[in-house]
Amino acid sequence: MKPTEILFYALTAITLLSASFVVTARNPIHSVLALIMTFFCLSGHYILLNAQFLAAVNIIVYAGAIMVLFLFVIMFLNLKTDDEESKTTMTKLAAVVVGGVLLVVMVAVLRVGTMATYNPSSYSAKVGLVENLGIVLYKDYLLPFELASILLLVAMVGAVMLGRREPGDRHY
Amino acid sequence: MNLTELIIKGILILVLFGVTLLIAMYSTWAERKVAGFIQIRFGPNRAGPGGIFQPLADAGKMFFKEDFIPSQANKWLFILGPCLAILTALMSSAVIPFGESIRYEDLVIPVQGIEINIGILYVFGVVSLGVYGLMVGGWASNNKFSLLGAIRAASQNISYEIGFGLSIIAILMMTGSLSIRAIVEQQHGFAWNLFNQPLGFIIFLTCAFAECNRTPFDLPECETELVGGYHTEYSSMKLGFYLFAEYINMFVSSAIISSLYFGGYNYPGMDWVRETLTGSLGAATGHNLTTLIGTLVLFGKIFFFIFFFMWVRWTLPRFRYDQLMNLGWKTFIPLSILNVVVTGFGLLYDVKYASWAIVIVMVILAMVSSARAPKPAVQPQRS
């Protein structure tokens, strides 16, 4: 086996293990930490694909910012004692239905979709580096890129509106 | 990569690593000496001449104290906290160019851990992970003060990371590269970024203070409100790791400030030095000596910024928490966005010093507002 293959299999094994620990862990904090580990391994996969920019952004945005907020909220909620209210039959049933639908969608995508092939002789290994990514984003996909940024702006304004303290609200 | 190159690179990385640790170690001594100087007292002066062995004595004490883990604490996470803090602190210096390159026979080896074309993003990624050390440690202590300290640390770091990231975008626009080496090489001689980006520098410096949890932003370990903050329950070398990580972060942020805004290993007259040295000592030796001088210059700048960190710590009082958040969200983020826009206009119309316009306007506004503010009434002195 080549070194990259060994790396790939090791990374994949760690990714799957930590991802399954996310759903099986009893303690929510352990679960969040395992999720961070999973994001790390995904960044490792990006680096193996020579997409350094994506790897760094994945760590900064997901592992660095979003998961910190997750951890933050879970620490505030203090879920140490098993909360019986959130484990009624209805919630369990709903969780099973949602998970099952997601599984069906993913299986369907895998069955229908075809993998794009590439030509090893003409393939440039630099396709994932930041210069090429920027050129593609700002030349070929400029409109979707700008629309996505407007969507994010709208979401941010909405969040600020929801979180704003109204006159007469309780002051915490 | 052949064996000689590998050996030289390995030695280089080990030396850089060792120097990082040594500087962090002696920063603890220097901080107490600077505090002594500012408060007109001696500082440590018992262990060795001028207290020079004080860090060794501290380390010995740290190692031999009782390593206490609270009975209700989450044991593994309690141990993981300081490990994460020191790991992320040590990782971030890998991409900083400490010098030009070393020539050995016909090999040219850059004085840098690793050169990647996303250097500055790597630093940001590692810095944003640093907060997990504090959060995990603070939560696992099972202590309300620790938890509050951890939450303060997390919210402060997240808030200031935005200003931190936005303030360097102007530099990235001027350089056109994310690699720190490319940014440093563009400031050849005396063309330092400081002269083009004064506002960006101020924002970056302040955010670096906040990211390192240094005074005036050391709210996570505010003694008057939180006992000891996130490391209240820690003792022995675990506490040592937390404190040590802070000093390593200080060293790394000084190195990054000097590379991004103060030209890194560039200094005025470097071309003349290079010509003289290569002319009199031969190409390889002259080049290596020039690199050495550049590295020493960079370390001089780093030491100045470490001193600056300490100077501020013993001069300014701590902010209040709402002041900290207002400064981050309502001042620095709009200002850095404005800086990005103005720099963009400057690039479009080829005005290099566009960002000075904001500084001038801000200074004028500050002077006008302080002139218009009502004068405080003079209190008659009570006898």
- Can you give the pLDDT at residue A12? 92
User: Residue B314 to residues B43, B106, B231: CA-CA distances in angstroms?
Assistant: 13, 50, 22
- Can you give the pLDDT at residue A105? 93
Joined tokens for residue B201: 């520098």
- Can you give the pLDDT at residue A149? 92
Instruction: Judge whether B281 lies within some domain.
Output: yes
Amino acid at B339: N
Distance CA A130, CA B117 (A): 8
Contact A33/B at CB under 8 A: yes
- Can you give the pLDDT at residue A151? 95
Residues within 8 A of A (CB atoms), B 171-200 only: 178
* Domain interval for residue B206: 55-371
Query: Which residue among A59, A72, A131 places its CB closest to the CB of B151?
Result: A72
* Structure letter (DSSP) for residue B12: H
**Phi and psi torsions of A95, nearest 5°:** -65, -45
Alpha helices, DSSP H, located in chain A: 3-24, 28-48, 52-58, 67-77, 89-112, 130-139, 142-163
pLDDT, tens only, B84-125: 888 888 888 888 888 888 777 777 777 787 888 888 888 888
pLDDT, tens only, A40-85: 899 999 888 888 888 888 888 888 888 888 888 887 776 555 555 5
Average pLDDT score, chain A:
84
Contact B132/A at CB under 8 A: yes
Interface TM-score (ipTM) > 0.85: no
- CB burial string B103-140: b at 16+ within 10 A, e below: beeeeeebbbbeebbbbbbbbbbbbbbbbbbbbbbbbb
Sequence-separated (6 or more) residues with CB below 8 Å from residue B333:
B162, B163, B166
* Under 8 Å between Cβ of B112 and B97: yes
Contact B87/A at CB under 8 A: no
- Can you give the pLDDT at residue A90? 84
- Can you give the pLDDT at residue A147? 93
* Structure letter (DSSP) for residue A81: S
3-state secondary structure B23-63: HHHHHHHHHHHHHHHHCCCCCCCCCCHHHCCHHHHHHHHHH
How many CB atoms neighbour CB B150 within 10 A?
Answer: 30
How many CB atoms neighbour CB A94 within 10 A?
Answer: 11
- Can you give the pLDDT at residue A79? 58
Instruction: Judge whether B33 lies within some domain.
Output: no
Contact flag A68-B132 (C-beta cutoff 8 Å): yes
- Can you give the pLDDT at residue A167? 74
Q: How far is Cα of residue A165 from the mean position of the Cα atoms in its chain?
A: 31
Q: Which residues of A touch B117 (CB under 8 A)?
A: 52, 129-131
pLDDT, tens only, A87-124: 678 888 898 999 999 999 999 988 887 777 777 777 77
pLDDT, tens only, B18-50: 888 888 888 888 888 888 888 888 888 888 788
Contact A69/B at CB under 8 A: yes
Distance CA B161, CA B211 (A): 7
How many CB atoms neighbour CB A171 within 10 A?
Answer: 4
How far apart are the CA of A69 and the nearest CA of chain B, in angstroms? 8
How far apart are the CA of A60 and the nearest CA of chain B, in angstroms? 5
Contact B128/A at CB under 8 A: yes
Instruction: Using CB atoms within 10 Å of the CB of residue B369, give its burial: 0 to 12 exposed, 13 to 18 middle, 19+ buried.
Output: exposed
* Under 8 Å between Cβ of B147 and B244: no
How many CB atoms neighbour CB B184 within 10 A?
Answer: 27
- Can you give the pLDDT at residue A154? 94
Instruction: Judge whether B280 lies within some domain.
Output: yes
Nearest CA to A63 among A1, A7, A17, A18? A18
Contact flag A52-B118 (C-beta cutoff 8 Å): yes
pLDDT in tens, chain B (383 residues): 678 888 888 888 888 888 888 888 888 888 888 888 888 888 888 887 888 888 888 888 888 888 888 887 778 888 888 888 888 888 888 888 888 887 777 777 777 878 888 888 888 888 888 888 888 888 888 888 888 888 888 888 888 888 888 888 888 888 888 888 888 888 887 778 888 888 888 889 888 888 888 878 877 777 777 777 777 888 888 888 888 888 898 898 899 999 888 888 888 887 788 888 877 877 778 888 888 888 888 899 999 999 998 888 888 888 888 888 888 888 888 888 888 888 888 888 877 777 777 888 888 888 888 888 777 676 777 66
Residue of chain A minimizing CA distance to B139: A75
How far apart are the CA of B153 and the nearest CA of chain A, in angstroms? 11
Interface test with A, best of B120, B124, B128, B131 (most A CBs within 10 A): B128
Contact A49/B at CB under 8 A: no
Q: How many domains does chain B have?
A: 1
Nearest CA to A19 among A37, A7, A46? A37
Contact A25/B at CB under 8 A: no
How many CB atoms neighbour CB B208 within 10 A?
Answer: 24
**B297 vs A26, more confident:** B297
Q: How many inter-chain contacts (A to B, CB under 8 Å) are there?
A: 64
- For residues A138-165, average pLDDT: 89
